[in-house]
Amino acid sequence: MNDLKFPIAAITDEFSPSDFSLAINAMASIGMTGAELRVVNGKNIMDLTGDEIRAAKDTCDAKGIQILGIASPILKCTLPNGPAVDTRFQQDIFNSKHTFDDQPRLLDRAFQISELTGAKIIRVFSYWRTVEPSACFDAVVEALTKLANQAAPHGITIGIENEHACHIGTAEESKAILAAVQHPNLKLVWDPANALVAGENPFPHGYGLLPVDRIAHVHVKDCHMEGHTPIWGPVGTRHVDWRGQIAALRADGYKGFLSLETHWPGPAGDKFLASTICGWNLRGLSAM
């Protein structure tokens, strides 16, 4: 993989949510050396037993794939007593139906899974986006500060993903939350396509707002917009300037992975084929 400027990875269930070995074999054949765990053999990562987690790690180890992070559903829930949820955005839950009251248990479980797998990033969110995002900012700050404080003794990074269906959706909102929570254990999972869906030009405008030294991880997918609806497609062929974004990350000294989160349903609805195509596209972009 010496031709790659950045190591590449994927959220495994983008290849197959039901067959973990199939996903890992496909990822390895593309040259991916990292994995994020979200749905494994049909179960959300939070619901796996210890034996199931150890088996997943063994599968990854056998292919030389490092488990980078836990793609958790933490804070992908409704903020109690907040404004009404903004129904314009699709709420993807990936076999997770947890509520606000479940959050402390989810975090404890995420720490346990991180210890079992060696994962150093726990991806989190910022509550389902409401019709008054500014009214929820302080609550998001409070929640992320608490998560970062709890992660510090474990040596874990809390990765807040900019997610268009949650309160932190754009680079502008990401910049604000990172400025408000100046904690070394809180960093950003930067997703340019999510920023695009949220109405922002992710590159160069959005990326230019971000403190690059606080980007822990980058998610890769691609789409164009038809009204308020994202139309997902092969990575590198739609409206995210991935060539420019990757070149800028390299120039700015980013040291992490580029991780595929396909979203595109694929030819004739074949998601495995879609992720294989996008994986090879990502490899090509990473080699430039």
Q: What is the pLDDT of residues 117-176, one digit of tens each?
A: 999 999 999 999 999 999 999 999 999 999 999 999 999 999 999 999 999 999 999 999
Q: Is residue 271 part of a domain?
A: yes
Mean pLDDT of 100-128: 96
Q: Is residue 1 part of a domain?
A: no
Structure tokens, 255 = 């040291």
> Residue 205 belongs to a domain with what CATH number?
3.20.20.150
Q: Which domain holds residue 124?
A: 8-286
Which residue blocks in the chain are alpha helix, DSSP H? 20-30, 50-62, 103-117, 137-151, 171-180, 192-197, 207-209, 242-251, 271-286
Mean per-residue pLDDT of the chain: 95
Residues 6+ apart with CB under 8 A from 65: 24, 27, 28, 32, 33, 34, 35
Q: Is residue 3 part of a domain?
A: no
Structure tokens, 276 = 């294989």
Q: Is residue 138 part of a domain?
A: yes
Q: How many independent structural domains does the chain possess? A: 1
